[in-house]
Amino acid sequence: MAPQRPAPPVGARGYGALRVPGLVLAAAVAATSVVATVDPNQPGHYPTCPFLAVTGYYCPGCGSLRALHDLAHGDVVGALARNPLMVLAAGGLLVAFVLWTRRRWRGLPRTWAAPASVLYGLLALVLAFWVLRNVPGWTWLSPA
């Protein structure tokens, strides 16, 4: 008979456990509100991407502010035209935030960490997006 492992320690539960997720949510809402209010499509409101300014090539983040502005105004198609990777990342972060908040509410420990293959896969996705959006003639991946 194998020895039984002790149960993992349970953290704070309920509203007390939601302090950190609440602060993260407040920061995300504040940042999104700024980008929704101050239009990145108007020149002079935000700095130019340094990578684009130096090399003339788009980085994986080019168009992200305009995509977030479009998402904040409910224009998903416009956001996808600006930076489809950012839209996917925003959805993934939203799902991760909900799961994290639910776990904190219930007082459960983290039971899963991303294996190296997932992290390398995400890196490969970003690098492939970076290269493909700079291929001449592939304007559908370039920030509109």
What is the mean predicted confidence (pLDDT) over 23-45?
95
What is the mean predicted confidence (pLDDT) over 44-68?
94
- Quote the pLDDT of residue 56: 93
- Mean pLDDT of all residues belonging to the chain: 90
Confidence of residue 143 (pLDDT cuts 50, 70, 90): confident
Portion of the chain with pLDDT greater than 70, in percent: 92
Portion of the chain with pLDDT greater than 90, in percent: 73
**What are the tokens at 16?**
């007390």
- Quote the pLDDT of residue 13: 74
Confidence of residue 4 (pLDDT cuts 50, 70, 90): low
Task: Give pTM, 2 decimals.
Answer: 0.83
